[in-house]
Structure 1
Amino acid sequence: MPEYRRVLLDGAATQVVREGDDLVSADGRRVRAAEAVHLPPTVPTKIIAVHLNHRSRVAEFQTRLPPAPTYFHKPTSALNAHGGAVVRPERCKYLNYEGEIAIVIGRTARNISPAQAADHIAGYTVANDYGLHDFRDTDAGSMLRVKGSDTLCPLGPGLVTDWDFRGRYLRTYVNGELAQDGSTDEMEWDMHYLVADIARTITLYPGDVLLSGTPANSRPVQPGDVVEVEAEGLGRLRNHIVAGPAPVRDDCGAQPTESEEVLSTAFGGDWEFRGVRAPRRW
């Protein structure tokens, strides 16, 4: 399966193909993969993520899936790459990893069926859909700051074409210890369904990204932690957590909170508040 990466090569963003431990550009220049400065493997116009898809995640929150998937939007300014630093702003405590698989669009898609979706997919890459749950009380619907803050969308290390998503493991490691252990077989809606669903009303352009959901056991990480997400056949995405040098401003906007919903989401508790249980969007 060909694997394409984007790296900084002599100061320029360059597409390369992986050949063993080397990355090779079209003009023949080589760089060791372990030494390369990686960029996100795609340049999307938009990043769309499904709230809840893995059945283990549903069971963890003791909730239920909606009749059809629901989504949120991550701005492209959240993009990060393999080896990049993920910033936890000062005064925030609940930055959670979420190992996922990203679908990358290859051909413009609009009003297609699930059976046609494969022809519009360029390939797949590994993603970590970090969530800054300190802002969940104000952004639970849009997830804008929760999921869209700077650096919270690492993708990589490369884009793999001709990858069959069925029966593939998806694992997250924190400081070398297994933290999430899931499979694409526990997804309620597969990759082709997600692409077709979004493309009913939203045109997907080449390079656009859809994030397909995370399994159970997303938990907070701290500055200094190293988080790796591995998807079978796609490789391992590695990032490290750093503390933001400046606090979230307190002279405007909603402030970080530690409500029951924040803590329940951050630590995988029951999504039941004030005696009323309802489907919550992830």
Structure 2
Amino acid sequence: MPEYRRILLDGAVFECTVDGGELVCAEGRRVKIADAAHLPPCEPGKVIAVHLNHRSRVEEFQTSLAAAPTYFQKPTSALNSHGGAVVRPRGCRYLNYEGEVAIVIGRTCRGISVSEAGDYIAGYTIANDYGLHDFRDTDAGSMLRVKGSDTLCPLGPGLVTDWDFRGKRLRTYVNGTVVQDGSTDEMAWDMHYLVADIARTITLNPGDVLLSGTPANSRPVQPGDVVEVEVEGLGTLTNHIVEGPLGIRADVGAQLSASEEVLSTALGGDWEFRGIRAPRRS
């Protein structure tokens, strides 16, 4: 399956193809993958993410799926890349990983059917839909700061075309230990459905990204941790966690919290506050 990556080389952006352990730029230069400064494999105008989709995640929260998928948006200022540092602001405690498959749009689409959606997809990449749950109580359901803070949307390492999303294994590792283990077959709504659903009212343009949901066992990570998301046929997205030099300003806005909802979401559905039955967002 063809795979394309975007890298920064000598101050310029290049799109490359993968050839074994090397990246081949269009003008012929070769760069070892291990030495490359990766960029996100596409340039989205918008990043849209589904809330609950994997059945294991639904079961973990002891809740039920809505009749149709619900979504939130991550600002493009949250974009990050393979090898990039994910910043947990000083004073925050609940920065959770969420390994996912990302859909990359290849053609402008609006009002298409599920059966047509595949024709509008350029390919797929890996995402880690990090959530800063310290802000969960303050966002009134929008997930803006929870999911949209800077660096919380790594994508990569490459864009893979002609990839069949069915029956693919997804695993997340923290410091080499498997912490999420799921399959695209446990998704309630598949990739084509998500594209067609969003495109009913929102025009999707080339480069736009849809995040398709995470399996169970999203948990907090700490500065110094290395997080890898491995998807069968798409490779491995690797990032490391760092503590930001700045805390959250206390003189403006709602402050960090650690309510029952924050804890039950950040630490898992089997937390002692499992009695909370409100519909969960990823």
Q: Is TM more than 0.5 here?
A: yes
Once residues 186 and 209 of structure 1 are traced to their aligned partners in structure 2, the CA distance between those partners, rounded to angstroms, is 21
Between 270-279 and 238-247, report the one with greater CA deviation.
270-279
Report whether the alignment pairs 1:148 with 2:145: no
Q: Do the aligned residues in 1 keep the contact of 2:61 with 2:274 (CA within 8 Å)? A: no
Match of 2:30 in 1: 30
1:188 is matched by which residue type in structure 2? A
Identity of aligned residues (%): 79
Report whether the alignment pairs 1:167 with 2:167: yes
Once residues 165 and 156 of structure 1 are traced to their aligned partners in structure 2, the CA distance between those partners, rounded to angstroms, is 16
Match of 2:83 in 1: 83
**Equivalent residue of 1:263, what SS?**
helix
Q: Do the aligned residues in 1 keep the contact of 2:82 with 2:237 (CA within 8 Å)? A: yes
Once residues 97 and 277 of structure 1 are traced to their aligned partners in structure 2, the CA distance between those partners, rounded to angstroms, is 23
Match of 2:268 in 1: 268
Alignment of 1:183-198 (within 5 A): 183-198=183-198
Once residues 281 and 87 of structure 1 are traced to their aligned partners in structure 2, the CA distance between those partners, rounded to angstroms, is 22
Count of aligned pairs between the two proteins: 282
CA change 1:168–1:257 in 2 (3 A) is same
1:206-252 CA distances to partner (integer Å, 9 max, x unpaired)? Answer: 00000000000000000000000000000000000000001110000
**Equivalent residue of 1:166, what SS?**
coil
Between 49-58 and 5-14, report the one with greater CA deviation.
5-14
Please provide the CA RMSD for this pair: 1.3
**Equivalent residue of 1:139, what SS?**
coil
1:81 is matched by which residue type in structure 2? S
Alignment of 1:122-141 (within 5 A): 122-141=122-141
Alignment of 1:57-76 (within 5 A): 57-76=57-76
Alignment of 1:237-256 (within 5 A): 237-256=237-256
Match of 1:21 in 2: 21
1:80-120 CA distances to partner (integer Å, 9 max, x unpaired)? Answer: 00000000001100000000000000000100000000000
**Equivalent residue of 2:250, what SS?**
coil
Q: Do the aligned residues in 2 keep the contact of 1:44 with 1:206 (CA within 8 Å)? A: yes
2:4 is matched by which residue type in structure 1? Y
TM-score w.r.t. structure 2 length? 0.98
Structure 1 residue 273: Cα displacement? 6.5
Structure 1 residue 23: Cα displacement? 0.2
**Equivalent residue of 2:8, what SS?**
strand
Once residues 219 and 277 of structure 2 are traced to their aligned partners in structure 1, the CA distance between those partners, rounded to angstroms, is 22
Once residues 175 and 238 of structure 1 are traced to their aligned partners in structure 2, the CA distance between those partners, rounded to angstroms, is 11
Once residues 269 and 277 of structure 2 are traced to their aligned partners in structure 1, the CA distance between those partners, rounded to angstroms, is 13
Structure 1 residue 10: Cα displacement? 1.5
**Equivalent residue of 1:220, what SS?**
coil
1:138-188 CA distances to partner (integer Å, 9 max, x unpaired)? Answer: 115100000000000000000000000000000000000000000000000
Q: Do the aligned residues in 2 keep the contact of 1:271 with 1:277 (CA within 8 Å)? A: no
